Structure 1
Amino acid sequence: MTGRFPVLDPATGEVIEEVHDAGPEDAVAALDAAVAAQAAWAGTPPRERAEVLRAARAGLLSRIEEFALLITREMGKPLAESRAEVHYAADFLLWFAEEAVRVSGEYRASPGGDFRIVTTRQPVGPCLLISPWNFPLAMITRKVGPALAAGCTAVLKPAEDTPLSCLLLARVFADAGLPPGVLNVVTTSRPAPVVERLLADGRLRKLSFTGSTQVGRLLLAQAADGVLRTSMELGGNAPFLVFADADLEAAVDGAVLAKLRNGGQSCVAANRFLVEAPVADEFAARLAERMESVRLGPGDDPGSQLGPLINRRQLDRVAALVDDAVAHGARVLAGGKATGPYYPATVLADVPEAARLHREEIFGPVAPISVFEDEPTALAMANDTPYGLVAYLYTRDLARAVRVGERLETGMVGINRGLVSNAAAPFGGVKQSGLGREGGFEGIEEYLSTKYLAVDLHP
């Protein structure tokens, strides 16, 4: 290792711990270990791989408070949300433990009947898994779970803001009996040269990345030379549609959940609130009342409902987006001014399309509201973005729910529901929001290759 770098508490700016600062040579050593362990791990019976994942889940759940406090300290979210993340992370380990034994192929006759077509599924090989800071545990198990279940080894690079949860999880896996070399953690404050070196190594066969679309484009270009299998979970610009016939109380509940979960620092956070004209004022007033009551504070304060943003750079960015919207004519109904490392739950009304908030991912607790007159206009506004991760819609009309849900250009849609994430569901987007899916039956497919055997039946 080439040195150490500090991990900071976003609420206080204090150093929590220092961790190893890996360079490209350390990353290659990690890949060496993954390559050396690949054949044996791929040859491990699926049931045994599943048992390791189950044991890791049990170890994780036995240390809920330890993990939750660590997540809160390095990322800032309230302890209640951190505990929920630990359970969410554990769900992926259980789900993919169950999927490990269900990987299968086919045996069928060729159309001419003269030979048999046999397909089998095999692990793609050593993987590079790059996780974000906003869910520093769950976004790791969402990648590690299917990779290990499929029989792949991995090099795991956590976000430099939040590596501590990842390091503790690696210990849990070791205690669960995961063989050395199967999972290799590389912490670094200089991700670009580390990742570039790994992507240039011909032994790497798979890249899974969660992060911004801008970085995702760069990684896709670098992965092209090696023709790597890629999974990309990138940025979002989620519309939250409220039709005039919606249950407004339920819509406000869903809006608060979709906006404030993780302090708005989530790719599936509602980014644009599009409300039908007859109920726009009432919805805005109700939402503003709810958002104004949200209590700011450090995540380890039991009364805190909204913690600090991850760092000063993100705080300044959110503030600039709000200032831009106000300069374009938006009205502040709640919040709107930073307090130390915190940005309050904020509601903006009359947000014009020219505001940056309509085009950029906020990644903060800001709810900009715009008005639409009819369903076609709502769809046009919702789809007017290069992103397509998730959308939310509230209506009592079942036909409208299905019709609009099918026409929204997103990979996921929450219908009368402000939360879509679940280990059993396929998570991912379309357009510039990414490639591939994580979770669900589809999640393990990203780590498997199909092999075809043509079997001649004649001697």
Structure 2
Amino acid sequence: MNYSQWNTMPIGGVWREGSSEKHANNRNPYTGEVLVSHKLANREDVNEAYETAFRVQKEWISLSPDHRARIIENAASLLADRREEAIELLRNETGSTKVKARIEVNSSIALIKEAATYPYKMNEAVMPSTIPGKENQIYREPVGVVNVITSWNFPLSLSMRSIAPALATGNGVVVKPASNTPISGGSYIAKLFEDAGIPKGLISVIIGSGSEVGDAVVEHPIPRVVSFTGSTEIGKRIGALAGQNLKEASLELGGNNAFIVLDDADLGQAVEAAAFGKFLHQGQICMAINRIIVSRSIYPAFIKQFKEKVNALKVGDPRQDDTMIGPLIDGKQTDQVLSLVNKGKQSGATVYLEGKVEGNVVSPFILTDVDNRMSIAQEEIFGPIALVIPVDSEEEAVSVANDTRYGLTASVFSSSTERAIEVAKQLQTGMVHINDQTVNSEPSMPFGGEKDSGIGRFGGQWIIEKFTTVKWVSVQKEKRQYPMFV
């Protein structure tokens, strides 16, 4: 792929440079190579993007549901045709391994296909009235324009899960992708939908610094919904700004996800799931396993088998198809991961597997004998560090899993489905997966968390509700008698 074609961004229907004085380089996290340099957007660009989306959205919603659905379906077909190109983009821009990139592209195609059904699900209803001769009609309508702000770790699918549903439900979209992944998280998606047939200007992409345009994309009066995926700290600020401006906020934030292995679990299955759920994309996933909580009776066998499984994972160049663990996104993230390891050591955790660092590539660390009160166990770990915590009972496992400010997802391993479900019901998370790892997402299922892991749900009917509003229209079909004139 020639990345020089991505040195512009679509703003108000025109692919051009931003109007800021600032520039930014988009680098390959493994090689350090500059893929493309951007002249960034500023507040004037934000305003143009919103005003154009607001105007063009009227054209978009005037099309029939069938017409809009066909365009969304076209986008799914185009991405399927461009699958290898998209995989290569993710490998170069995000440091994805081939396995991770393939998962992300397939997930994005599925998200678009699901969204293509939404134009037919903007259900209207006729309801009875308590007033004689009146009929109540309920209409579901798009909110108008949606602001999408996304993260760098799964940029294609995280952006797609908001952009495709927002378009399918009749809205315009202004996207602010993460600065590390502006192509796969923004421009590539906009081009895909433009090629599929959406009107020019319905999607704009704002590639800009947070200090210059971060607040502007949220505070602008046009967007009625802000869909954000990212850290809890930034999410709280975005939620506050949205609330001050009476906007709806959908926030998918951080996680400190528990993977519980009960004493009757299939150990081999649990070990394999733990290795996948912890180390896919180097652990840089909000859904990644953070704490592995294991019944003490099987603890020695688990950590032994887990270390063996993890040691077999190939670490290094993501351009090699058999690499399973590639680079972290940048040097800042690498430094943060190493700082967390040092915190764990200082707190008394045992380094059961010592990782190595080469550039931004960090091979896996396994810390055992972790106590949940250690600071490392209370933080979100966005990197290849596995924490293993022994517990003496099922009740303690639940208590430890819930002892966190986060509540995104969790897993429970047991040979008894009934036992695992009872444990799942006690976990304070938005999602729980039994006899599977924590990294699960399906287009029609409610994806989201509790506590500091966010507000709202993606997927299916839940995302339709988020990106639409309802209008009550009553029709008085018979002359009404008003009390003052009786």
TM range (shorter): over 0.9
Distance, in Å, in 1 between the alignment partners of 2:188 and 2:442 is 23
Q: Secondary structure at the match of 2:304?
A: helix
Q: In the alignment, which residue of structure 1 is the partner of 2:272?
A: 253
Secondary structure of 2:271's match?
A: helix
Q: Does 1:423 find its partner at 2:472?
A: no
Secondary structure of 2:221's partner? coil
- Give 1:112 shift: 5.6
Q: Please tell me whether residue 109 in structure 1 is matched to residue 119 in structure 2.
A: no
**Could you tell me how far 1:114 is from its partner in structure 2?**
4.8
- Describe the superposition over 1:402-455 as per-residue Cα deviations: whole angstroms up to 9, x where unpaired: 111111000000110114211121110011111111123322211010111222
Amino acid at match of 2:92: R
The structure whose Rg is larger is: 2
CA contact (8 A) 2:252 2:448 kept: yes
1:73-123 per-position Cα deviation (integer Å, ceiling 9, x unaligned): 111011232122111111110001012212203212124655233211010
Query: Which residue matches 2:155?
Result: 136
2:116 match: secondary structure:
helix
Give 2:198's match in structure 1, choosing from 172, 178, 186: 178
Say whether the 8 Å CA contact 1:291–1:346 is kept in structure 2. Answer: no
Question: 2:10 is matched with which residue?
Answer: none
The RMSD of aligned alpha carbons is 1.4
Q: Of the candidates 36, 49, 53, which is equivalent to residue 72 of structure 2? A: 53
Give the match's secondary structure for 2:464: helix
What is the distance in 1 between the residues matched to 2:164 and 2:310? 36
Q: Distance in 1 between matches of 2:120 and 2:285?
A: 32
Deviates more, 1:33-42 or 1:144-153: 33-42
Partner of 2:171: 152
Q: Distance in 2 between matches of 1:429 and 1:127?
A: 21
Letter in 2 for 1:444: I
Equivalent runs, 1:117-128 vs 2, <5 Å: 117-128=136-147
Q: Does 1:365 align with 2:407?
A: no
Aligned ranges 1:9-28 → 2 under 5 Å: 9-28=28-47
SS across alignment from 1:119? strand
Q: Work out whether 1:80 is the aligned partner of 2:99.
A: yes
Work out the CA distance in 2 between the residues paired with 1:215 and 1:293: 36
DSSP-derived class of the 2:397 partner: helix
CA contact (8 A) 2:29 2:360 kept: yes
In 2, Cα distance between the equivalents of 1:199 and 1:304? 39
CA distance in 2, matches of 1:339, 1:448: 47
Q: Is the 8 A contact 1:60 1:169 kept in 2?
A: no
Distance in 1 between residues matched to 2:133 and 2:399, nearest whole Å: 53
Q: How far did residue 341 of structure 1 move?
A: 1.3
In 2, Cα distance between equivalents of 1:222 and 1:343: 36
Structure 1: where are the runs of 5+ without partners? Answer: none
Matching residue within 313, 331, 344 for 1:312 = 331
Q: CA deviation at 1:247?
A: 0.4
TM-score, scaled relative to structure 2: 0.92
Residue of structure 2 equivalent to 1:330: 349
Contact 2:262–2:295, Cα closer than 8 Å, also in 1: yes
Counterpart of 1:336, as a letter, is: G
Which amino acid in structure 2 is aligned with residue 63 of structure 1?
R
- Partners of 1:43 and 1:228 lie apart in 2 by 24
- Residue aligning to 2:419: 400
The structure 1 residue matched to 2:219, chosen from 200, 217, 238, is 200
Deviation of 1:204 (Å): 1.9
- 1:329-375 CA deviation, whole Å, 9 max, x = no partner? 11122233323211112211101233222111001111100111111
SS of 1:441's equivalent? helix
For the residue of structure 2 that corresponds to 1:304, the secondary structure is coil
Distance, in Å, in 2 between the alignment partners of 1:9 and 1:351 is 34
Post-superposition CA distance 1:155-214 (Å, at most 9, x none): 0111100112231222121111110111111111x1233131232222221100000000
Provide structure 2 residue ranges, at least 5 long, that are not aligned to the other structure: 1-17, 480-486
Q: Deviations over 1:124-166 (max 9, x none)?
A: 1111100110011111110111100110101011110011223
Distance 1:301 1:87 in 2: 20
Q: Measure the CA separation in 1 of the matches of 2:230 and 2:347.
A: 29
Partner SS for 1:121: strand
Note if contact 2:372-2:400 (Cα within 8 Å) is conserved in structure 1. Answer: no
Deviations 1:366-386 (A, max 9, x none): 110011111111111111111
1:41 partner amino acid: W
Partner-residue secondary structure (3-state), 1:156: strand
The SS at the match of 1:101 is helix
What TM-score do you get using the length of structure 1 for normalisation?
0.97
Which residue matches 1:434?
Answer: 454
Amino acid at match of 1:429: G
- Across the two proteins, how many residue pairs are aligned to each other? 458
What is the alpha-carbon distance in structure 2 between the residues aligned to residue 301 and residue 164 of structure 1? 22
Between stretches 207-216 and 423-432, larger displacement belongs to: 423-432
The residue aligned with 1:348 is 367
Alpha-carbon separation, structure 2, partners of 1:100 and 1:333: 52
User: Are 2:97 and 1:70 equivalent residues in the alignment?
Assistant: no
